[in-house]
Structure 1
Amino acid sequence: MPLPDSLFWDRKDTTGVEHTLVDARNGLYARGTILAVKPIAYTCRYELRTDPGWATAHLDVTTEGAGWVRNVRLELAAGRWRAVTAEQGNLDAVLSAAGHARAGLPGIEDSDQLYKAYDVDLGGSPLTNTLPIRRLELLTAETGVSHRISAALMLLPSLEVVQADQIYTPLGAHRVRYASETFSADLTVDDDGFVVDYPGLSTLIKS
């Protein structure tokens, strides 16, 4: 199915790009590809769907590199997350050969940890920052008032899923502050809430 809009980001934290095709007319449906070289060279392909209120309903992600491939499908239904995983090859061996620590297993062992998480956060992807921005209507919300959320954070390239506490604060003038326990960044977004500039991570170069 052809999608009406396209977003293309250039990575700042590593050599890499992200290209996403989106339909935001009734919630969000997106298909995207991420290419990056750190911690190892990999390709990530994803399909994301939200409900009309921008709460995540479905995320299907595949990462692949030399000698390995992983897939995780996350679905939220009736307030509960379900994760289905698959793995071929040995990502840990590739990471070890490159001098990196072992990867976590794909998915999450106890999906109850994601209770009341309505947003997914695909590590390194500015697209998923749009989900809470739109779900909480932060572009028209009171400036300076913080909104704390619980997110299902999917790490790349391992596809390990962890619960993450995050804070979003509208700053006005199309800026939103994103913060976690150890990090914060002031995001610049467009009229639709898509990230134009994520300091240190990515810049939108074509839409």
Structure 2
Amino acid sequence: MTDERVLTWQVTESGGQETSWVELGQSRLSARGEALGTTPRSYRLTYELETAQDYVTTRLRVVAQGAGETRRLDLRRTADGWTVDGVPRPDLAEALDCDLGLCPLTNTMPILRHGLHEEAGRHRFLMAFVAVPELVVEPSWQTYTHLGVEPDGARVRYESGDFRSDLLVDHEGLVLDYPQLATRI
């Protein structure tokens, strides 16, 4: 059974907004979204995200438009590893997930895979991080820690390098509030 929903966030970090049409199934997620931002420069971004069993990313397609230019990205993960626009990326071999910059939705996959919206745990992951609006892909080590259950869902701490934020996620592991980045409206 698949649960479909539309989520919209006010994205303070980009000075914009994002809407995502999400399908949550039994250990799978797919989504298509659109974001508008004004920082660091004005852009319009669309994406399609697909995961396999255990919410493991299989594909992220992104188009970013702004100031007379269009960038495209096709990020794929198969049994043979990751490719970026068809070019193998062995530096991402350990990664199971993508992390689309300025997109609160892509925090969901590791949270759901490890049940961090429901129970204690701390996990460190390598992510295929996609900078926005440049669409450059880099490896990024990130840590997620369950901080506790709350009436609206749970708190999960996100850490990457010197950055840290305590996310509020709903009962299904989808971001409600990402301090310093976005709030669901």
Q: TM-score, normalised by structure 2?
A: 0.92
- Paired residue secondary structure (1:197): strand
Alignment match, 1:84: 85
Quote the Cα distance in structure 2 between the aligned partners of 1:14 and 1:32: 15
Give the 3-state SS of the residue equivalent to 2:184 in structure 1: strand
1:139 maps to a residue whose letter is: H
Question: Identity of paired residues, percent?
Answer: 39
Match 2:137 to one of 129, 147, 161: 161
Asked if 1 retains the 8 angstrom alpha-carbon contact of 2:81 and 2:88, the reply is no
Structure 2 gap ranges (5+): none
Distance in 2 (CA, whole Å) between partners of 1:52 and 1:134 is 11
What is the 5 A alignment of 1:166-181? 166-173=142-149, 174-181=154-161
Residue 12 of structure 1: how far off its partner (Å): 1.8
Kept in 2: contact 1:23–1:29 (CA 8 A): yes
1:101 corresponding residue in structure 2: none
Q: What is the CA RMSD across the aligned residues, in angstroms?
A: 1.5
- Give aligned pairs, total: 178
- d(CA) in 1 for partners of 2:75 and 2:64? 14
Note the 1:20-169 alignment, pairs <5 A: 20-26=20-26, 27-84=28-85, 111-142=89-120, 145-169=121-145
Q: Provide the C-alpha distance between the structure 2 equivalents of 1:165 and 1:51, rounded to a whole number of angstroms.
A: 21
SS in 1 for 2:135: coil
Q: Which has the larger radius of gyration?
A: 1
Tell me by how many angstroms 1:14 deviates: 3.6
Provide structure 1 residue ranges, at least 5 long, that are not aligned to the other structure. 86-108
Query: Which secondary structure does the structure 1 equivalent of 2:115 belong to?
Result: coil
Instruction: Report SS of the residue matched to 1:192.
Output: coil
Give the secondary-structure state (helix, strand or coil) at the position aligned to 1:185.
Answer: strand
Checking the alignment, whether the CA contact within 8 Å between 1:79 and 1:116 is kept in structure 2 is no
C-alpha displacement of 1:56: 0.4
Using structure 1 for the length normalisation, give the TM-score.
0.82
CA distance in 2, matches of 1:20, 1:171: 26
Of Structure 1 and Structure 2, the greater strand share is in 2
Residue 13 (1) aligns with residue 10 (2)? no
